[in-house]
Structure 1
Amino acid sequence: MLDQKLISLLRCPIDGTPLKEADSSIIDRVNQAIAAGSLRDRHDQKISRPVDGGLANQSQTRIYPIREGIPSLVADEAIDL
């Protein structure tokens, strides 16, 4: 989806760890929670748009959504897993 060279340069804005593409199983789980209306971002806003992918922090405790090929690295828009 995203260029691996670009991904290798990106860091989590919250903890500074390297980011990597989230597994499809994580993305599926996130989209199921969005469809159920039970997912909120770190700013406590309800998430209503499904994600195409995500960038996970090193410990895989949060992802940054990718929609239409564009990652959002805004800390408040991160999704805690």
Structure 2
Amino acid sequence: MEKRLLEIICCPETRQPLREATPSELARARSFRAGNFEAGLIRQDEQVFYPIRNGIPLLISDEAIRLA
């Protein structure tokens, strides 16, 4: 994901910054919910994962995966 885009997007619920998920965080999110997402974004507090499908971040509450 482009650095410029990461600088302006945020969590729609809390407005916390988001960052790209690491491979281990991606695996953890997949353990909570099976899905066809290739990457994801993690909220600053590391409690919520937003999947990325087809290059598009799904920044809606219904798509969020709660990691805590």
Pairwise TM-score range, normalised by the shorter structure = 0.7 to 0.9
Please give the TM-score of this superposition, normalised by the length of structure 1: 0.74
Q: How far did 1:49 drift? A: 2.2
Residue 14, structure 1, aligned to residue 8, structure 2 = no
Question: What is the CA–CA distance in structure 1 between the aligned matches of 2:9 and 2:35, rounded to whole Å?
Answer: 23
Where do 4+ consecutive residues of structure 1 move more than 6 Å?
none
Structure 2 unmatched runs, 5+: none
Question: What is the CA–CA distance in structure 2 between the aligned matches of 1:58 and 1:49, rounded to whole Å?
Answer: 22
Q: Which has the larger radius of gyration?
A: 1
Provide the alpha-carbon RMSD of the alignment: 1.3
Structure 1 unmatched runs, 5+: 40-47
Aligned pairs, number:
67
Residue 67, structure 1, aligned to residue 53, structure 2 = yes
